[in-house]
Structure 1
Amino acid sequence: AAKRLLEKVDLENKIISGDAIFAQQELSKTVVEKGGEYLWKLRANQGNMYQRAVAHFEQMSDQYLEQASSLEKGHGRIDQREILTSFRIAGSLKFPYLEQVFRITRKSEQVKTGKISKQTVCGITSGSVEEFEAKDLLELTRKHWAIENGLHYRRDVTFKEDAVRQTAKNGGRVLAVLNNLTIGILRKLGWENIAKARRYFNARIDEALNLIMTPLSLLL
């Protein structure tokens, strides 16, 4: 579904970022061959590529590793992020147009309680080291996580996603994709308050149905 959607969208000079679910070979080829760049997270269930990325950064034997860090204060916490990037390992991984592999470590401290949490994520990108330095990738991933967190909040609060009982194997994943698409379309139509948009279309079913029947290429 994501591949078919991207085939209809202008990706020239666009950076498409996403969770590990999007780190698929055909999808990644589509992004680059339509003029864009991809930036995906990796997860442990993606097997050899994830394990090799983790091992590469743990060994710290790559003399060409690039590093960058950032520090942010706000919302009652202090966030420190550090990224390591490598172009050397990318050449040995069989993945379309892969240029760099990266690891981000995020440490977050709650100002009031002093509680510290730590998260480490690996990822891949088609962006070359000449175009995207470590500091650039760090900023791109920061923006992606900010959007992702905002989407999850809206999906849960406005669409009650977490309260929906799922029986199908991939039901939760499909629901998240559909809700993200809905939010994206509403934003494109000029709605800033998603809850208000939902109430609007709940009271105007005919308009909602017409919107559903409109080709995505005309909406995005």
Structure 2
Amino acid sequence: MPSLITILRQVPDPRTGNARRHELLDLLVIALTASICGCESCVDFADFAEDREELFREFLSLPNGLPSHDTFSRLFRLIDPAALSACFSQFLDDLGADGPGVIAIDGKTLRRSFDRAAGKSALHVVSAFAGEAGLVLGQTAVPEGGNEITAARALLAIIDLKGMLVTADAIHCQGETARLVLERGGDYLFALKKNRPATLADVETWFADPATAPAETLQTTDADHGRLEIRRHEVVHDVDWLFPEKRDSDRPAMPALATIARVVATVERDGKTSTSTRYYLSSARLSAAAFAKAVRGHWAIENGLHWVLDTTFREDEARARKDHGPENLAIIRKLALNVLKTARPSISIRRKRKRSGWSDAFARSVIGQMR
């Protein structure tokens, strides 16, 4: 399999004429390395290249010297996000990171990416995240006038789902999305909420009936920082009653349904107790233990991706707004996160970024994953 630098070499160059003064590969590698080392903007990329020129000349040609921040800005406004995003799957193949497990699908808004003068709203991207590996599998932006549902389908269509369990919130509990997952060799586990009111009411009624009983249950307990949470996981495999054969527009069927599940979570904190109940539909015949693991795995996208991007990469403060700039820089951040995740795993992402910025020797040990 090719190295990440070789993969970046395959990205088409959108520039013409004198705008090609600097090699595309050099620009992409500098931007990615700078992001790994703590940089957040095109100005940062240019400053970092100037300060660390000796490091970059170890593996880049730089025939026309160092690029300016305007050069970086123009490039990321022009480059095709789909072509840059294609680097995810090839790099992950190289790492052997696409083994069996849970793929979590979730959307996130880049809050400072709006352009009020151009009437452009903030960019919303949908990401696929392999929780067990802690790696981003891909990203697709929601186009102007589009929605997260269709963006998620576009993303799922380019990811290898064989043997994987795809988890998503209730907005994606759609028959078409479920069929796409199944056609690509995976299974789905989607939350069931009030956007499917008739189906939710049927499931709530079933679980409330004293005459019915789940096939299997599992109770888990978490306690930390003065908070105690007890979760009861219940799965049902007798599911034929949920979607009768007669066509019912109020209850659109979910293909290959095999499991209906419920989580009842009771939380005690500061002397107060609260209870929440969540329901799920899945095409996989899940045990209670497998269901509990999958539900917990889905939230890894919040803690392992969104939270890291906001707190460590300061993504919510990113000010890129023009053309493809916000989307492409979001891809660079996620590629940087994947490199950081795979290098020196015993050290936190925050520490690795800081130490890479401070020390050429430490930076070499991290960016060696790219070569």
1:116 is the counterpart of 2:245: no
Change in CA separation of 1:29 and 1:156 when aligned onto 2, cut-off 3 Å: same
Aligned pairs (5 A) from 1:185-200: 185-190=335-340, 193=349
The answer (yes or no) to whether the contact 2:203–2:242 under 8 Å persists in 1 is no
What is the deviation of 1:42? 1.1
> What residue number does 2:162 align with?
12
Among 230, 237, 242, the alignment partner of 1:80 is: 230
> What residue number does 2:299 align with?
145
Say which SS state the counterpart of residue 28 (structure 1) adopts: helix
> What residue number does 1:210 align with?
none
1:95 is the counterpart of 2:254: yes
> What residue number does 1:33 align with?
183
Render the CA deviation track for 1:165-205: whole Å, top value 9, x for unaligned. xxxxxxxxxx9xx99988755433436748x98xxxxxxxx
What is the deviation of 1:151? 4.7
The answer for unaligned runs of 5 or more in structure 2 is 1-150, 244-252, 318-325, 342-347, 354-371
The answer (yes or no) to whether the contact 2:171–2:195 under 8 Å persists in 1 is no
Change in CA separation of 1:73 and 1:10 when aligned onto 2, cut-off 3 Å: same
Q: Distance in 1 between matches of 2:192 and 2:329?
A: 22
What is the deviation of 1:126? 0.8
Q: Distance in 1 between matches of 2:238 and 2:336?
A: 41
The answer (yes or no) to whether the contact 2:156–2:181 under 8 Å persists in 1 is yes
Alignment RMSD (CA, Å): 3.3
Aligned pairs (5 A) from 1:152-163: 153-154=307-308, 157=311, 158-160=314-316
Q: What is the count of residue pairs matched by the alignment?
A: 180
Please list every run of at least 4 consecutive aligned residues from structure 1 whose deviation after the TM superposition is greater than 6 angstroms.
Answer: 178-183
Q: Distance in 1 between matches of 2:331 and 2:215?
A: 36
Give the TM-score normalised by the residue count of structure 2.
Answer: 0.42
Q: Distance in 2 between matches of 1:133 and 1:160?
A: 38
Give the TM-score normalised by the residue count of structure 1.
Answer: 0.68
Q: Distance in 2 between matches of 1:65 and 1:87?
A: 7
| 1:145 counterpart letter in structure 2 | W
Q: Distance in 2 between matches of 1:76 and 1:55?
A: 34
Change in CA separation of 1:87 and 1:186 when aligned onto 2, cut-off 3 Å: farther
Q: Distance in 1 between matches of 2:197 and 2:331?
A: 28
Q: Say which structure, 1 or 2, has more relative contact order (CA 8 Å, 6+ apart).
A: 2
> What residue number does 2:215 align with?
65
The answer (yes or no) to whether the contact 2:207–2:213 under 8 Å persists in 1 is no
Aligned pairs (5 A) from 1:36-47: 36-47=186-197
Identity of aligned residues (%): 27
Q: Distance in 1 between matches of 2:221 and 2:165?
A: 24
1:2 is the counterpart of 2:152: yes
Change in CA separation of 1:154 and 1:118 when aligned onto 2, cut-off 3 Å: farther
Q: Distance in 1 between matches of 2:208 and 2:154?
A: 37
The structure carrying a bigger helix percent of its residues is 1
Aligned pairs (5 A) from 1:201-216: none
Q: Distance in 2 between matches of 1:120 and 1:181?
A: 35
> What residue number does 1:215 align with?
none
Render the CA deviation track for 1:26-63: whole Å, top value 9, x for unaligned. 11111112111111111112121111111111114224
Change in CA separation of 1:59 and 1:29 when aligned onto 2, cut-off 3 Å: same
The answer (yes or no) to whether the contact 2:170–2:195 under 8 Å persists in 1 is no
What is the deviation of 1:100? 0.7
The answer (yes or no) to whether the contact 1:155–1:180 under 8 Å persists in 2 is no
Change in CA separation of 1:108 and 1:156 when aligned onto 2, cut-off 3 Å: farther
> What residue number does 1:211 align with?
none
Change in CA separation of 1:72 and 1:183 when aligned onto 2, cut-off 3 Å: farther
> What residue number does 2:206 align with?
56
Render the CA deviation track for 1:59-105: whole Å, top value 9, x for unaligned. 14224532111112223311110012112235532211111111101
